[in-house]
Amino acid sequence: MSVVAFERQKDHWLFRFSPEEWVFAGVGEAKRADEAYARGDRRGGLAGARRAAGMALNGVLIVDDDARASWGRTYMEHLAKLREDTRAPAAVRDAAALLLLDEEPVKELVVLRRKAAPSRLVEAARDIIAHAYALVAREQGKVEPS
């Protein structure tokens, strides 16, 4: 990775938050995605899971100028590039591929449950968030490179 120092820029779309703040914004968004799925909002859950992963990946864009130069600006662009990034573990690339699938809500089927199970899409987002956190922490010297 080619690392750049973080300097907050309140009016810049990326640099308004620190790398850690982007990762933790992703954690909060994953929680909201989980809540959307729990109330039966599949479309909101999918959108939230994608946003959660994308927010965390914004943290990576700050610490990795190579990623920033090629991953694009939107969360979907981040996920598409991560899916193809051979530097990322296969499980993380698979999680990105899963989030890129177009899953529309099922309208003909009514599922009766006492409590909604965690969505595999939210779990995929959490895998990406964990990966982003590891990259951010490594580049900021908080963990040793493996």
The per-residue pLDDT for 6 is: 77
Across the range 126-136, mean pLDDT stands at 97
The pLDDT of residue 116 is 47
All structural domains of the chain? 19-139 (1.20.120)
Q: What is the mean pLDDT of residues 13-26?
A: 95
Read off φ and ψ for residue 7, nearest 5 degrees.
-135, 120
**pTM for the model:** 0.84
User: In whole angstroms, how far apart are CA 65 and each of 41, 62, 77, 126?
Assistant: 36, 7, 16, 23
* Mean pLDDT computed over 40-56: 94
